[in-house]
Amino acid sequence: MLHEVHVEDTTFDTLLIEYTSLKYSGFRSIQVDEGAFRFVDVEAASFISVVFNNFDFTGGYLLWTSELTNSAKDPEQRSRVLHRFLNAVGRDNYRETHLDTVTFNRVRMRSLDFTMSTFQAPTFEATVISSSLFEDTRFLNHDAVASNWDVQIDQSYFKRTDFSDLTPEQMRQIVFIDCIFEDVTFPEGFKLQEGAGVVLQ
């Protein structure tokens, strides 16, 4: 276990961390040129002015949300599917994690839990997020930072997620595919594109 690790002003040619926990830690002004966090339990950590290039965040549980979208009209069936998803074993934990002006460049994220986490002015370039949970997660702008949102998010579940601080133009850069949206707050004037998924009330 790696707890209370603090790294600043460092460049890593390669960074690989696997099968451990990384809690109550802080990373500031670092750059990683390639690598991965695989099956890493991250909680109450902060990443500030960090650049991840060619990086892979991989958890162990894959959600296929078509099963959930197909059950959307049947409350009992939907409840069973949601319960199985929310209690799945193997999803990597990024709960209560603060990501401030973090750049994700050619990054793959799969099966991560961002419950109660905050994305503050991130920059996404050619990034794909799959099969992940965003519960009580916030996406925030930063007046002094011009962020980019070149990200595809597929087969993921958004519950009480708050996008209201983003502009409709920023939201339209995000490509949602086969996701579930429950009690999600979007910026005024934004509508999900066709194929984004199912909205639950």
Question: What domains are defined for the chain?
Answer: 2-200 (2.160.20)
CA nearest to 69, candidates 176, 187, 200? 200
DSSP bridge partners of 127: 151
CB atoms near residue 31 (< 10 Å): 16
In sequence order, what are the residues at sequence separation of 6 or more whose Cβ sits closer than 8 angstroms to the Cβ of residue 194?
none
Give, for 138, the enclosing helix (H) or strand (E): strand 138-140
Average pLDDT of span 173-180: 92
pLDDT confidence of 146, banded at 50, 70, 90?
low
89/24: higher pLDDT: 24
CA nearest to 105, candidates 51, 41, 157? 51
Residue 7 has pLDDT above 90, yes or no: yes
Asked whether 123 and 102 are in contact (CB, 8 A), the reply is: yes
Q: Flag the least confident range among 29-33, 40-44, 129-133.
A: 40-44
Residue-level pLDDT at 89? 47
Residue-level pLDDT at 72? 59
